[in-house]
A and B are shown apart, each in its own frame.
Chain A
Amino acid sequence: MSTGTTKLDVVVSDVVPVNELVTRFHFRRRDGELLPTFSGGAHVVVEMRDGDRTRLNPYSLMGSPLDTREYTISVRRDDVGRGGSLFMHRSVKPGLEMVISYPVNLFSLDLRAKKHLMLAGGIGITPFMAQTAQLAGEGGNFELHYTCRTASLATYADVLRERYDRRIRLYHDDRDERIDLDRLLSTQPLGTHLYVCGPAGMINWVRDRATALGWPSEAVHFEHFAAPQPGLPFDVTLAVSGKTIRVGEQQSLLEAIEAAGVDPPYLCRGGVCGQCETNVISYDGKFIHNDHWLSEEDHRSGCKIMPCVSRFEGRSLVLER
């Protein structure tokens, strides 16, 4: 199968609760070899076998790219999501054998930058854990501004402060601390690149202000994996393979296509990379587009859908799959 990346057979070597919402998982290779080297900002797709369901969720690698004995990811529990994070929190224990993808980086550092200005919100801190480790190892110039709800939910803030001291700035929502974004963006040296990872609202806010303040778009980098949202079940006809499938309430369209034995290419499963883009042959109803890949024009046209994150409500949908 040509879909996705090469797979890695791993075993869960440790499970560490970090705070009331976040748990960290450590993976090692089952054959005892080193894992592939990766670059800061890379993610892996974790395969979760949950009974007869398979979920494939992307998580940023947060360890140092210099240490490939193990990979670490941090998973924030989402009690109203589709169950991937709950599965990780409840069912994944040390010793469990799992399959993960090779690392893929869709949130790469621009190594031309004279300075890397990083903005993290909540669990969006994870890619920066790896990026700061990479830059610190090379003597790179970075500064990280990290917004969290409360001190007890400031995941890894203590670790970051200890490692990088004043290069880390913390902002606690419950203390009404706010990033003075306009001031921050207006006072950066030439050649600074901006990176933002966090909730959609934060990403949009930062991108809008950066544009308004004259930042070139090539210098603004963001990562937002849209987790697939649950929704009403719907039926889809796959014209190429001649199958009709039902997409369940907690299932993504991509997962339902895969469950029917059809394997579209994918990488991020979060509406970012464009690999699973699928042509619509006909439809009668309304699309719920959740991706960051297609243009607004594509969304309006009704000709394309990203099955990893987007859904459909209506009478009929025929896809070129």
Chain B
Amino acid sequence: MGITFRKETFRDDFTFRNSPEHIRRFPFPFHEDAYMYAVNIEPHVVGPKGSVLENLIDVDEHYVAEMQDRALVLAEDPLRCQSLPHMTLAGWDLLELLMEQQALGYPEHFTLTRDGDRWRWINRPLGIDDTFTFGDTSTLPYGPMEYITRQSQGDFCILDQRDGNLWMDAGMVTTQADWSLDFDIGMNFFEWHAPVPLAHEKGIFTRALKFLTNIQQGKPARRLNWTMTINPRLDTSPENYHKWGPDRTTVTPENVGDKVHLRVELQSFWRLPRSNGIVFPIRCYLIKMDELVTQPKWARRLHRVIRDLPEELATYKGLTRYRPTLVEWLSKLDDGSPTSPGFGPD
């Protein structure tokens, strides 16, 4: 049967919506009624059917619209996709990973056929049928990383591993929560994390780097991160701050449910086999408050989390201006009754 892809936008008229099935599969990131940083990394293994973890690379009803939005971003700003010269091999690694995983999870939409290094890739939702030579960039319309990440949901950072550190040396970043690949390109793990508050003091990055440099082939890992976005805008980049920053002043008690979105990133970490690099897919899921509160447990819990969030985190996540309005709106949906443990809806 396959996925019915929605026709929708992430800009201008913002027609993005989640279907009822997609609301229930939303990766709600709070397992308890409070939130604080932790090194919340776990093995990236297949999860329950009907969840976003059913496949290790998730394709959902927003696929086609997200790929169209990515193409628009790249047309305006080609620097959202960059790969330093030594990262081409890692790009081929990523192309193999994403083609394999998408074809494995969604055979009705994607087909990969290999005959030695002659590969044929069929992407039915986007109407692509290409035959190319694996390893020969001249046989693809773009470099391998750009080619495949124009056909894969989520942002992708490819990290080179050397000198006991990880280096942000390639990436496709168009659906980011206010950070810039063009700014971070070539930086190491500590440099690109420098702006994050509180976590350095807790030694989180030192431990995280040790973990990441030891990620093994065939054993990917994952974590969830979250923030909030006004309007379902995928491209909340520093480059376009002038377009989305002012949105944060437009939240009123009347439009909270429609405008305020919880933005969850499913981040995963994979060792790449040929280049020995690490790829870091950052997959963004959006859900508006009206959709989220259809699950009463999530409404109660989100109210408590946002109400009690430490000030530094609220500032870092850019919630300060509309937090009181949001908390007030959510409080009406919180009768004070307990929430069940775990992430899922009741």
Contact = CB atoms under 8 A, between A and B. Distances in A.
Interface string A254-288: 00000000000001000001010000000000000
Interface in B161-195: 161-163
B216 A39 contact: no
Contact of A36 (B89, B162, B217): B217
Interface in A81-120: 102-105, 108-112
A253 to B, nearest CB: 21
A111 B273 contact: no
B275 A275 contact: no
A124 interface: no
A266 to B, nearest CB: 11
A142 to B, nearest CB: 15
Given A104-B216, A111-B86, A112-B86, A218 B163 contact: yes
A6 B219 contact: yes
B144 to A, nearest CB: 13
Nearest to A101: B216
Contacts of B160: 111
Interface in B30-57: none
Given A6-B218, A103-B217, A39 B162 contact: no
Contacts of B93: 37
5 contacts: A5-B217, A5-B218, A6-B216, A41-B276, A112-B85
A65 interface: yes
Contacts of A108: 161-162, 276
Contacts of B89: 111, 138
A312 interface: no
Contact of A110 (B135, B162, B218): B162
Interface string B265-277: 0000000011110
A255 B217 CA distance: 24
Contacts of A5: 216-219
Interface residues of A, number: 25
Contacts of B214: 267, 273, 275
A105 B162 contact: no
A39 B218 contact: no
A38 interface: yes
B44 to A, nearest CB: 13
B interface majority secondary structure: loop
Interface in A1-46: 5-6, 36-39, 41-42
Contacts of B217: 5-6, 36, 38, 102-104
B276 A37 contact: no
A134 B218 CA distance: 21
Contacts of B161: 108
A38 B216 contact: no
A277 to B, nearest CB: 11
Contacts of B96: 37
Interface of B: 85-87, 89, 93, 96, 135, 160-163, 214, 216-219, 273-276
Nearest to B216: A5
A102 B89 CA distance: 20
B86 A38 contact: no
The 9 closest A-B pairs by CB, nearest first: A37-B273, A111-B86, A6-B218, A108-B276, A112-B86, A39-B276, A5-B216, A105-B276, A102-B218
B100 to A, nearest CB: 11
Given A37-B273, A38-B273, A108-B276, A218 B162 contact: yes
Contacts of A134: 274
Contacts of A112: 85-86
Contacts of B218: 5-6, 36, 102
Contacts of B163: 218
Q: Which of B86, B96, B135, B276 has the most CB of A within 10 A?
A: B276
A14 to B, nearest CB: 22
Interface string A229-270: 000000000000000000000000000000000000001000
Given A6-B217, A38-B217, A111-B86, 11 more contacts: A5-B217, A36-B217, A39-B276, A65-B274, A103-B217, A104-B216, A108-B161, A137-B135, A218-B162, A273-B214, A275-B214
Interface in A34-81: 36-39, 41-42, 65
A235 to B, nearest CB: 31
A298 B275 CA distance: 32
A47 B91 CA distance: 33
A177 B275 CA distance: 35
A112 B89 CA distance: 11
A267 B216 CA distance: 9
A38 B93 CA distance: 10
B219 A39 contact: no
A5 B276 CA distance: 15
B219 A111 contact: no
Nearest to B218: A6
Contacts of B219: 5-6, 102
Contact of A102 (B216, B275, B276): B216
B212 to A, nearest CB: 14
A137 B136 CA distance: 11
A112 B169 CA distance: 11
Contacts of A273: 214
A219 to B, nearest CB: 10
A173 B206 CA distance: 45
A110 B162 CA distance: 7
A68 to B, nearest CB: 9
Nearest to B43: A2
A39 B216 CA distance: 13
B186 to A, nearest CB: 11
Contact of A39 (B85, B135, B273): B273
B219 to A, nearest CB: 6
Nearest to A112: B86
